[in-house]
Chain A
Amino acid sequence: MAFRAAVITFPGSNCDRDMAVAIERASGSAPLRVWHADAELPERLDFIALPGGFSYGDYLRSGAMAANSPVMRGVKEQAERGVPVLGVCNGFQVLTEAGLLPGALMRNASQNFICRTVALTVENSQSLFTGGYDQGQTIRIPVAHHDGNYFADEDTLDRLEGEGRVAFRYAENCNGSRRDIAGVLNAAGNVLGMMPHPERAVDTAHGGTDGLALFEGAMRTLADA
């Protein structure tokens, strides 16, 4: 059966198309495009993606308003049932605001927006999303954000590290994130939030394809399950 993924578009999302292209490249099936005001998320999804952008213009706090959007009720329900959820950049911010992931994304330490291809270390290659990488592998993925400075209290950070929930770390910290954290998993391992944009590194024309293994790895794991 065809891979059934959904990409959610909030007002102000701007990486939704890029995410859909990457998922289709990896899975061979075009994902469903879901508008945030649709209270009913389609059922029987294999994968849900919250894309990057500036939902609601980052007004109030990045991701805060989207986290209360009607469609998020469905995302939470399906996440609790184990459906994989990937949030990239603003999608990560939405997941923390929605309480699906711990911590918060604060303004970059430099105070400036930063767009740069950075080196990441794969900290956990055993998760649903990172099975396409080797443990400790260095990959190069672009970041583009103003609020990517990951913060959580020390106890939470210790717990994340202890439970292997730090998925990616910056090889060189570009935004002030605590413990260089670039991406985190939920306790069950089916929700990943990350600031770097894997969907911008899936095509040789992008200058690198290190993001493709994330999508392909996840699709493969799901197909085997």
Chain B
Amino acid sequence: MATVESAITPEVVEQHGLSPEEYERVLNALGREPNLVELGIFSVMWSEHCSYKSSRLHLKKLPTEAPWVICGPGENAGVIDIGDGQAAIFKMESHNHPSYIEPYQGAATGVGGILRDVFTMGARPVANANALRFGRPEHPKMQHLVKGVVSGIGGYGNCVGVPTVAGETNFHPAYDGNILVNAMTVGVADTDKIFYSAATGVGNPIVYVGSKTGRDGIHGATMASADFEEDADAKRPTVQVGDPFTEKLLIEACLELMATDAIVAIQDMGAAGLTSSSVEMATNGKAGIRLDMNKVPCREEGMTPYEMMLSESQERMLMVLKPGKEEMAAAIFEKWELDFAVIGEVTDTRHMVLEFDGEVVCDIPLGPLAADAPEYDRPYLSKDDYTAWAGIKPMQQRPDTSDVGGDVMKLLASPHLSSRRWIAEQYDSQVGADTLQTGGDAGVVRVHGTKKALAITTDCTPRYVHADPYEGGKQAIAEAYRNLCAVGARPLAVTNCLNFANPQRPEIMSQFVHALEGMGAACRELDFPIVSGNVSLYNESKATGGGSAILPTPAIGGVGLIDDYATMMTMPFKAEGEAIYLIRAEHWATPDPERSHLGKSLWLSEIHGRDEGRTPPTDLTVEKNAGKIVLQLIADGLVSAVHDVSDGGLAIALAEMAMAGGIGAEVEWHQDYTQAQWWFGEDQGRYVVTVPDTDALNAALAKGTEDDETASIGFRRIGRTGGNTLFGNSIDAMRAAHHSFFADWMEG
């Protein structure tokens, strides 16, 4: 064993983000002192980002199975069966810290990374989506961050030729010093051509393909696992640089090779690069690995094994090939002008052995690196203690409104509810020529060459999660479910991106644990399992003064299936004179005197400047049955437009349908509620639908009354479409208000 570099001092250990206890664990695992290469490898593998050490215990409690789930969490992405021998493969991932430091490259490489997670498994990526949280628009850095992130997402996704079809964007001061950039990719593969990461077959060649390794991104995973200090800008060199052109070539080359039978296992090099990809492949294959570091294609002269193992250079993959297939595989990568190098082999040692200049520079047993990595049961506040800590109380005084039309205009012009067109138009949403819908409740893409279509949505309401992590977690899942039902898609599964602050604070850990419990309950009740995901902790920043934590943001990416896209539903009003109904639980026919129906509503915060009250509760039985009924109404052709009721309440849902369709409406207030409650309350489990033929609807409902599920859901007729005004505002005036925020902010 060669002696490499200097002795390991406590300072060096600390710089690598390992606690003294964790270093003790390293010493025990090795039975000796590590060298710097080994310490670096332990450091990234045991980082929060790679080891999930604070979250693993709780993630295990999430429901991950259903008959249609082919592969749940643990691989590069989740896989579900969509019939006809085809599978949808998808995942969402965060790139928060890099995007704050260098928004264009941070966001771009976030898209690149999630694309690789999906095509690694054999899928052609067919759609991208994202979930973005920014700080206050007036924050001095925010315009720069929004512009950079949006053009970075577009710059990467547009170039690789994957349409961006769905997304959500929020603004809140809690993200001033720590924005969130979560990117999702959905791909389609044949179920008999899905590739996994388990390295097997002693002696099989390990092959490196893609871009060369440079010194960029070293320690990215460790950075993503610590609070932001004041020196965020100084960390710019740890942000990777993306090359979507190379990624496009890599997609085509990998898919071309995957069409042959040469690949045993494949894994992308994402966070922690060559280290985590090789360790995961060997661990999943219950094998060992030997790499010759002199063979790693490098961008620069004189790179050390330490740098090669920790580099996060983009657009690289690691594969295990069947013996004798090297030449054929090399020819494919040569055609696409990509590097191809055999850098090692699969062994049976259960050790990771690295050689450099003829000497062993690393020899680590794989067990402690991955499967036996530290796992913490961090203390967390009970629900009641959390509520007290967060200062959440029922609303005392309940304001009302006498100017619904004026409030609608103010809300439409607010950052929260303004049109996202300025963002959406910077993404190519149509490449592939299979995009069927964007800008509605969910993005929809046709499965190429079939009648099927996949619906995709991203959802989370962080202010709800903050006020009540359990209810907020439930709501995020329920809203994704609702958005899929609203376009006529059967909700199948979700991926998530769990963005939270420092888990070593019991109040933050309470958010995490209880949000997960709420999500789990919703997924179980709605038969909507979680098949992949990512955890991003330590999202807090001292950059803006004080240790300000983000709002807890468990972003959900939902995927549903439409069997025949001819039945797909959309949200715009379609014709004049159609009846408008509100679908909601029968037992919500009258207001609940215990509830304000306005807690945590956007109306309350935008119109009254009050961020108060409790998160609206989500009744999962109602969600399930309402979803079922909406799907049935769509299948039976009884409704012409569907939209879920969410941020901004019923009035905003109606305004969005009117603006999208260019048709107004006459609508009635239900006088058991106050005007504010009725129009702006954010009660869950509700949809607005338009009905061209009310007799047909009534006939269908009459048939269904014996069904308990149908009976539990009520229909209330609230008006009819027609004219060119809504609440006294013209469609044109509403559209102008709706577009005003981004237009004024970005182009004004």
- Are A14's CB and B431's CB within 8 A? yes
Closest Cβ neighbor of B570 among chain A residues: A207
Please tell me if A54 contacts chain B, counting CB pairs below 8 Å: yes
Please tell me if A131 contacts chain B, counting CB pairs below 8 Å: no
Q: What residues of chain A lie closer than 8 Å to B336, measured between beta carbons?
A: 11
Contact segment of A107-115, A120-128, A151-159, A217-225: A107-115
Q: Chain A, 51-62, contact with B by CB distance < 8 Å: what is the 0/1 string?
A: 011101111000
Bound: A112/B446 CA distance, A: 27
Q: What residues of chain A lie closer than 8 Å to B244, measured between beta carbons?
A: 54, 57
Q: Give the Cβ gap from B344 to chain A, nearest Cβ, in Å.
A: 29
A57-B244, A112-B151 known; A200-B159 Cβ under 8 A: no
A11-B249, A14-B248, A57-B159 known; A205-B426 Cβ under 8 A: no
- Are A59's CB and B429's CB within 8 A? no
Closest Cβ neighbor of A22 among chain B residues: B433
- Are A144's CB and B433's CB within 8 A? no
Q: Which of B207-261 contact A (CB under 8 A)?
A: 243-246, 248-249
Q: What residues of chain A lie closer than 8 Å to B436, measured between beta carbons?
A: 205
A54-B248, A114-B425, A116-B425 known; A12-B430 Cβ under 8 A: no
Please tell me if A97 contacts chain B, counting CB pairs below 8 Å: no
Please tell me if A46 contacts chain B, counting CB pairs below 8 Å: no
Choice from B160, B249, B335, B446 contacting A205 with Cβ under 8 Å: B446
Choice from A54, A116, A142, A202 contacting B158 with Cβ under 8 Å: A54
- Are B430's CB and A115's CB within 8 A? yes
Q: Give the Cβ gap from B427 to chain A, nearest Cβ, in Å.
A: 6
Q: What residues of chain A lie closer than 8 Å to B159, measured between beta carbons?
A: 12, 14, 54, 57-58
Bound: A200/B428 CA distance, A: 12
Q: Which of B127-161 contact A (CB under 8 A)?
A: 151, 154-155, 158-161
Q: What residues of chain A lie closer than 8 Å to B245, measured between beta carbons?
A: 11-12, 54, 56-59
A12-B248, A54-B244 known; A18-B431 Cβ under 8 A: yes
Choice from A54, A59, A112, A203 contacting B433 with Cβ under 8 Å: A203
Q: What residues of chain A lie closer than 8 Å to B248, measured between beta carbons?
A: 11-12, 14, 54, 57
Choice from B161, B427, B747 contacting A14 with Cβ under 8 Å: B161
Bound: A111/B548 CA distance, A: 34
A113-B151, A115-B430, A205-B436 known; A53-B425 Cβ under 8 A: no
Q: Give the Cβ gap from B387 to chain A, nearest Cβ, in Å.
A: 44
Q: Give the Cβ gap from B671 to chain A, nearest Cβ, in Å.
A: 40
Q: Give the Cβ gap from A140 to chain B, nearest Cβ, in Å.
A: 13
Bound: A210/B488 CA distance, A: 27
Please tell me if B565 contacts chain A, counting CB pairs below 8 Å: yes
Q: Chain B, 406-448, contact with A by CB distance < 8 Å: what is the 0/1 string?
A: 0000000000000000001111111111011000000000100
Bound: A206/B429 CA distance, A: 12
Closest Cβ neighbor of B251 among chain A residues: A14
Q: Which of A12, A21, A52, A59 has the largest count of B CB atoms less than 10 A from its CB?
A: A12
Bound: A113/B161 CA distance, A: 14
Closest Cβ neighbor of A199 among chain B residues: B433
Q: What residues of chain A lie closer than 8 Å to B335, measured between beta carbons?
A: 37
Bound: A202/B434 CA distance, A: 11
Choice from A22, A114, A116, A144 contacting B431 with Cβ under 8 Å: A144
Please tell me if B400 contacts chain A, counting CB pairs below 8 Å: no
Closest Cβ neighbor of B565 among chain A residues: A205
Please tell me if A94 contacts chain B, counting CB pairs below 8 Å: no
Bound: A18/B163 CA distance, A: 13
Bound: A146/B154 CA distance, A: 10
Q: Give the Cβ gap from A151 to chain B, nearest Cβ, in Å.
A: 22
Q: Give the Cβ gap from B296 to chain A, nearest Cβ, in Å.
A: 24
Closest Cβ neighbor of A111 among chain B residues: B151
Q: What residues of chain B lie closer than 8 Å to A52, measured between beta carbons?
A: 431
Q: Give the Cβ gap from A124 to chain B, nearest Cβ, in Å.
A: 26
Q: What residues of chain A lie closer than 8 Å to B377, measured between beta carbons?
A: none
Q: Which of A144-169 contact B (CB under 8 A)?
A: 144, 146
Q: What residues of chain A lie closer than 8 Å to B432, measured between beta carbons?
A: 17-18
- Are B433's CB and A200's CB within 8 A? yes
- Are B427's CB and A115's CB within 8 A? yes
- Are A113's CB and B433's CB within 8 A? no
Please tell me if A15 contacts chain B, counting CB pairs below 8 Å: yes
Q: Give the Cβ gap from B662 to chain A, nearest Cβ, in Å.
A: 15
Please tell me if B337 contacts chain A, counting CB pairs below 8 Å: yes
A12-B249, A58-B159 known; A206-B433 Cβ under 8 A: yes
Bound: A95/B432 CA distance, A: 22
Bound: A110/B150 CA distance, A: 14
- Are A115's CB and B433's CB within 8 A? no
Q: What residues of chain B lie closer than 8 Å to A146, measured between beta carbons?
A: 158
Bound: A110/B151 CA distance, A: 12
Bound: A182/B446 CA distance, A: 29
Bound: A110/B427 CA distance, A: 14
Q: Which of A11, A17, A59, A110 has the largest count of B CB atoms less than 10 A from its CB?
A: A11
Q: Give the Cβ gap from B437 to chain A, nearest Cβ, in Å.
A: 9
Q: Give the Cβ gap from B392 to chain A, nearest Cβ, in Å.
A: 41
Q: Chain B, 446-460, contact with A by CB distance < 8 Å: what is the 0/1 string?
A: 100000000000000
Q: What residues of chain A lie closer than 8 Å to B435, measured between beta carbons?
A: 206
Q: Give the Cβ gap from A93 to chain B, nearest Cβ, in Å.
A: 14
- Are B430's CB and A200's CB within 8 A? yes
Bound: A57/B424 CA distance, A: 22
Q: What residues of chain B lie closer than 8 Å to A22, measured between beta carbons?
A: 433
Bound: A54/B155 CA distance, A: 10
Q: Give the Cβ gap from B226 to chain A, nearest Cβ, in Å.
A: 33
- Are A114's CB and B426's CB within 8 A? yes
Q: What residues of chain B lie closer than 8 Å to A116, measured between beta carbons?
A: 425
Bound: A18/B446 CA distance, A: 13
- Are B160's CB and A14's CB within 8 A? yes
Q: Give the Cβ gap from A61 to chain B, nearest Cβ, in Å.
A: 14
Bound: A15/B431 CA distance, A: 7
- Are A113's CB and B154's CB within 8 A? yes
Q: Which of B167-202 contact A (CB under 8 A)?
A: none
- Are A113's CB and B426's CB within 8 A? yes
Q: What residues of chain B lie closer than 8 Å to A203, measured between beta carbons?
A: 433
Q: Give the Cβ gap from B247 to chain A, nearest Cβ, in Å.
A: 10
- Are B161's CB and A53's CB within 8 A? yes
Choice from B246, B337, B430 contacting A144 with Cβ under 8 Å: B430
Q: Which of A176-225 contact B (CB under 8 A)?
A: 197, 199-200, 202-203, 205-206
Q: Give the Cβ gap from B119 to chain A, nearest Cβ, in Å.
A: 14
Bound: A17/B432 CA distance, A: 7
Q: What residues of chain A lie closer than 8 Å to B427, measured between beta carbons?
A: 113, 115
Q: What residues of chain A lie closer than 8 Å to B337, measured between beta carbons?
A: 11
- Are A112's CB and B426's CB within 8 A? yes
Q: Which of B246, B433, B747 has the largest count of A CB atoms less than 10 A from its CB?
A: B433
Closest Cβ neighbor of A202 among chain B residues: B433
Q: What residues of chain A lie closer than 8 Å to B151, measured between beta carbons?
A: 112-113
Q: What residues of chain B lie closer than 8 Å to A199, measured between beta carbons?
A: 433
Q: What residues of chain A lie closer than 8 Å to B160, measured between beta carbons?
A: 14
Q: Chain B, 99-135, contact with A by CB distance < 8 Å: what is the 0/1 string?
A: 0000000000000000000000000000000000000
A11-B337, A18-B433, A203-B433 known; A115-B425 Cβ under 8 A: yes
Among all A-B residue pairs, the 8 with the closest Cβ atoms? A14-B161, A57-B245, A18-B433, A54-B159, A144-B428, A113-B426, A115-B428, A113-B154
Q: Pick 16 A–B contacts, CB within 8 A, sort by A.
A: A11-B336, A12-B245, A12-B249, A14-B431, A56-B245, A57-B243, A59-B245, A113-B155, A113-B428, A115-B425, A115-B426, A144-B430, A146-B158, A197-B430, A202-B433, A206-B433
- Known pairs A11-B248, A15-B161, A112-B425; list 17 more (Cβ under 8 Å): A11-B337, A12-B249, A15-B431, A17-B433, A37-B335, A52-B431, A57-B159, A57-B244, A57-B246, A112-B151, A113-B151, A113-B154, A113-B158, A113-B426, A116-B425, A144-B428, A144-B431
Give the interface of B toward A (CB within 8 A).
151, 154-155, 158-161, 243-246, 248-249, 335-337, 424-433, 435-436, 446, 565, 747
Give the interface of A toward B (CB within 8 A).
11-12, 14-15, 17-18, 21-22, 37, 52-54, 56-59, 110, 112-116, 142, 144, 146, 197, 199-200, 202-203, 205-206
